[in-house]
Structure 1
């Protein structure tokens, strides 16, 4: 199953499919873009989390960002891919996928408030983004550690600075963001912040408004430092502009046509110039208009083939025509593109007319040359000593008797072609040529696989030097076998006819008709007598001195001789040498007749032909080949006669730069074409080379073309000197490297983006070179000169430094390349991860230099390490987590079972692995476990549930996740938690009740304190004042008695107040009384009975409507007092001359019982008396006797029962008191019974 992670892959269109591509397609929701025209369609209804950007892709992130719909929840990540290598990013994608799945999962799960609060606190403290809590006016209340690090301030300093102290005052975006937040409640923008040091940096800010617990508006601001992202965006803008210009400013002709209408829809200037049209004229053409009429049928067939192709088509060569009808030979490559919502193809066409004509002429010349070589039997071969490579002409393969398809030229294979006895002389001749540097000549034999021996005459010379060492050797070879055979025959004839003395340097033998020796000369005995132990040759078989593999050939030749007496037959025979090896000899066999004309003997004359003749190179053929190479090369060849000051140019001078070869025949005229900024440097280096001893000269510079443009060129030359070392001639070539230079510049930019540098360590000069990027990574200046020892010292001491030392040592001593990821400590003390790749360069098997690349991979490596740590944690998670875990295949086979699962379900791993789950746990079939597992397997959605399993008599919390193989199940035993939950609910309810009691008690205490300070103070003060007066004995007795009367009156008032307060305190104490079930009708009847005289006297009517509420659980004394006071109040405050009617009703709503007392009395002015309604000693009808305690006691007792009371009243219309009580006791008892049954207690 694919993960939730959505990926947009900006892929290189030329990249090949690999295993990592298949993983992306299988595991992730991915869309690919190859060309800019595909962006719009690819991003329809698609919002990616990640953008993968191949550094070779035609589309950059900058081109797709404006089209992307990026939400605030999904933060876009851009990951670079180097040269299609997805291995580096797959771990990052897996990590991002896990984070995304976790985030999406957390949205679905309900977490307890305390856990969420802890999580938010953790996020606040550990977030990498800065988080600020502020007032809407900009006052900062709090800042997390990330914000402090970002701003380089403490939290106190940030709060003191406020919003205006951390935002750049010149940033006008702030005002707009604040207005948006006021309007929408949130804002998202980019601002410029200022650090404590004064450094400004860009941030991405997300701010929203929320209400705190007191209902006050607060704001949160999440800030992210986007300095690096801004740098990348700036680089992407530059890259985007560069790639956009590739089409219009490319030196290659490009045009685009609609695949349906064949209409040309766009074209670059180079194509317009090549075809001779204006832009408007060209865009009015179809691709049919560029072809000749007779080519249209072939074009239509090609278009049918192209319509079935989805990739690159070509290259192919076709005949086009210009506007004036001139034929144009072009080489075309086509690419499928979407252009302005049209199905199109991008066509690159190169004018190869001149190239084709040139190749035709070259082939004709090459054919003539080959024919001449075949007629003369002359071959040519050359050896490039600097690269140890060989070139052989077709005739050379024939001369050496080898097949071109199987023969791989090398010194070893060439030596093997040479006859064994001529190999030493052949090798010595080559050594002499290299060491002495003079032309030489040599004759040698070659032995073909068929056994044929040829004589070759070879001449050789050195044509180029590298310093004092030969660089290239060329040779000509000629078949002289016929000449040698003639000489050999002549020698044999002379030995036969001019006497035995002349032939002593050759071998002379005779054999009888049975093949036994009858004669041998001294030369033969000297070379082959050792074969016979008695040193007697006469009478011994002649085959005994011949190698066995030549026996049959000799026998057949003798038979031919017998059939043709007097005729000489020639044969080459191998014979053994005394000290080992083979001696090759050439023999003439002649059959001699006796006097009767019958064959009597075989006479043989032979010669040792093991010695080789050195070959002499054919200078004429060498010059011819040089001329052909000069004409064939694409470089501009030049030849400068220093003594005559004349300068000669090859034909390519015109095709490359537009000048006729005869235009610039002096060095001064050439100098005028150099770019002014390069002229002094180039002429100075040339003068120094001529005056010095160098044999080579090389320079890069800008050269002015005929059309006025400057081309980047590479100029190489060889300087010829006389015996005194004076330069008399220089020959070389100029190569146009403009395109190469552009590509190098692009490569340098790409390397800078990827932070890739280079290095080169020359072991000969012991010099170490670092590129600018390599110095930047090491954080050293441009003038820093690295050395191999100082360079290694940058690597972190310990295993990192040891590894690079060992890698360099192996490269030097064993020619072993290396690719290491190591840590360095920069010149500024920063630790960085780098990737260093080194490739040894060898010469004659010895390492002479090490070249390579140096890349900053610190961010990537640190991300990899985080992923690896996560992977290690994941690896041990299944066994180390507290949860039990098992995995199921789609057929319910158990594929994994951890130790915790084995313990909780009392089922060992070996019992259940690879077994069907329902066979092992049949009592789970049909339960919530099976139902949830099957549902998850069907709809592939995660499930979380809690269920009781009879098999283990336990409760389990289960999380089920779909996987690519089936299901992953995490579960844990929550039986203790279930039991604890029941107790926790009991404690929670009790705590809430106590809390309400405390709140109520607190409010009562406040009022009680007020009563004590107010109601008691007045009588006590009066008593104290009167007592002071009684102490004055001067008052008459009558006055004193009156004072005593006032004292007693105040004492009675004080006693009344104390009695009332005692009643209030007693009411608060009585709440602890045991609650009981109370029948409401019986309660009303008891109250009616106690006040029946008042009811009768006032003609009061009490109506009751309790519905299905017959009884409630409460404190009876409280409920009696509440009902009694409300009924008495309704009767007491009746309207004059109107019989009081009291309606008492009860109803149930949710978990509450609502009791209403409605009367038709005087009513209360709530507009003015609302706040004093339930206050002690407050009365609202002073014409009626009362103390103002009734309603206070009612409210106090209702609150002590955990309820509340409200009033609705209008003057002269009546009053309604509503009491709301919770059926707490009944509910609690029912919950306890349920919990006990669940827990099994």
Structure 2
């Protein structure tokens, strides 16, 4: 056999062994050669295809595409890759991928085909797996991202939008470090660049703070995997989980533990933590001081070790009762190993964990001092109960510690109601002088001397009692204040008598002043008309024959009599105001009363074209005598109208304001004014006038002042000539 023929046979054998189908066909698409693998791929023997056109086995939907491609590309002489579906001999569908080359000289097309169906299934499985992974990455608790070696985002999972609120496009192209908390950035960068040198390495559980889209800082726990050598990834994979809730819960737990530890360690009382067996698991500083032992000699020992044998049975019973879940509180006596008696207040509190008692807190307070004080006070009470005066004992801070029965009967307060409170907080009222309390504190607590004071006490029912107080400081051996004993004496009757004397003295002074004023009026105002009458009476008999002269004398006598009558009426009005308060006081609305007065003088107001402005925002209710209030308002308003300025329209401004226990009524005008530098001492005197262009007696302001004083009020004035006058009336509120 010749060598070329031998090589041809060897080549055919090699082609027939290949799993890919090799074939050749002419320009019409008729198979000229088909390798044996066609039976495995298409189900035909080679002999069954040779002589047939390949278009006959094309899947019909692909027929037009194959025919067009055959006519356009197959005869160009280039290698063509294509992929179409074909029908097997059994009618099933197979997807073939072809590589064809048209030999122009031989006018034969050579091609190799391989089955793509299995490849498609593999691709579908890969796509399905990728979809499942993508769904897991986008919808799971973790955020899977890929960054470059510089930290720049290359891939961002959808879950970052759901968890942190960022759209993917807001992160792509930016570095992850831009969103890390300033306090964490150095730490994060250090770890990131450190592990870049370790290919295919993984860092787990690196918590740091990351800014969310809303500006809030989230705690992230991140697994970092270096995949820079993985050609499919070529970057650093960051798998992050939001652990903000966990971190915040841990911080709250830590804070709670720190608060508990602080409360436990710094509690002023001795605190012991016992397990269910009664062994001490924890003790604070106060507990060590109570037992006078170091902490290491107390821990893990049974509490019975520190209890006197005579008390162990009782303490074990209390402990067992508390283990059942019930808290206990009692005052008892603790005996140390030296038989030293210590009065204690004991509180047992079950430690509950998930509803189960895991141990007991035992809180022990040394109340020896309080008990000793109580025993001393009991002794004192035996003596004090027989005393009619009130007796009060306060501690060194000034708080009630004990009172006797007489004090309770006087005030209405029992010891249980006021114990531990300050006297000033319980027994004070609006009229209490707080300065007295400050003086008592200074002398007793600071100077530590005997103190005597008088003060007004308010009782439980609201009544008041004047007291004489005598404070005696009780000092300890070191000279420090231990407590204070106060003896109270009721001096209300004495105070009332003193007040009556003061009022009597004031009344006598006022009456004396009135008598002086009366004497002045008699000597001046009455003397002139009486002297005139006497002179005219002497002239009248001599001139009876002269009718004209007699008539003139009688006329003058009549005028002098009228003036005398006027003076007597004025005196009577003044003396009536001074001597009687026959009308009862009643609630009065100043605004209503003022409107009534204005209505009565409305014609004069309109004639003067006066403008009256009022402001009662400071108050308008008083408790007074209505007729006096009306008279006062009418006098002041008519004065403002009479003594107005001819140079400007009259304006009267009225307003009220509160001053301590008074409601002040202020009436201000822009009239002629008064020269107070000259007339201040004469302002409220009887028959004193300051303007003579209009009629008047000089009686109005004297009556106003007299009526205000009778009501227990005050009056003051400010005035400037040619500017105006302001009267301020202060009524008791």
Which of the five TM-score ranges fits, normalised by the shorter chain? Answer: 0.3 to 0.5
Q: Give the number of the structure whose alpha-carbon radius of gyration is greater.
A: 2
TM-score w.r.t. the length of structure 2 is 0.38
What is the TM-score of this pair, normalised by structure 1? 0.23
